[in-house]
Amino acid sequence: MILYSEKDDHYSHRVRIVLAEKDIACEIRETSNEEAPDEVLALNPYHCLPILSDRELGLYDTGVMLEYLDERFPHPPLLPVYPVSRANSRSLMLRIDKEWCPMIDTLTSRELSEKELLILREELLNEISTVAPTFKEFSFFMSDDFSIIDCYLAPILWRLPSLGIKLPLNRHLKPLLDYQAKIFARQSFQDSLSMIERDLRA
């Protein structure tokens, strides 16, 4: 099994967290869309990373990758057992992908004016702030157990300072800040970080 991973890409980071959490033997090859061999990019019809290669299987959507890894290596489980809970988890994953990730990608590209970036940072901060109260009720993101949804959220939270976003320390956000500290201290998260990613919060 080989993961062709971007060095500082939050989509690739999700997969690396799952690999570390489950202690899966997988070779991680750090590369980029510009440097990856054509035969690797050919595994993805959209010709971009990350790509997970397992024998004759080539996966390129991170949601599919994470569920495949969870089913193939079921311990510890990272998706709920019951269908309703699984559907709720998938809905949260879809919301992050559709609503938050485009903002992260735009901020990362820095192709907007500073005024536009400022507006986008404020919008993303407001979006993230809306989930803060859930951490009063649950130990992890909408669950009492670490799950795939945390693997979606953690890379985003890790990158906020490098994108010019600081979570203010106040009563509303304290549960989220406590969650963030707990996730960042988790061994699987620390093991998942590339050298470039470690420098994002240096």
d(CA 138, CA 140): 5
Are residue 180 and residue 131 in the same domain, yes or no? yes
What total of structural domains would you count in the chain?
2
CATH of the domain at 33: 3.40.30.10
202 in a domain, yes or no? no
Are residue 89 and residue 153 in the same domain, yes or no? yes
Where a domain ends, among 72, 101, 116?
Answer: 72
**Other CB atoms within 10 A of residue 51 CB:** 25
Are residue 68 and residue 26 in the same domain, yes or no? yes
Are residue 9 and residue 51 in the same domain, yes or no? yes
pTM across the whole model: 0.94
d(CA 121, CA 135): 22
Are residue 137 and residue 157 in the same domain, yes or no? yes
What's the mean pLDDT in 87-116? 94
CATH of the domain at 106: 1.20.1050.10
Where a domain ends, among 28, 52, 72?
Answer: 72
What digits encode the pLDDT tens for the residues 13-38? Answer: 999 999 999 999 999 999 998 899 89
Radius of gyration of the chain (CA): 17
Percent of the chain residues past pLDDT 90, beyond the cut:
88
Which residue, among 16, 153, 160, 41, has the nearest Cα to 97 in the 3D structure?
A: 153
What's the mean pLDDT in 56-64? 94
3-state secondary structure at position 31: strand
Task: Supply the range of the domain harboring residue 107.
Answer: 83-186
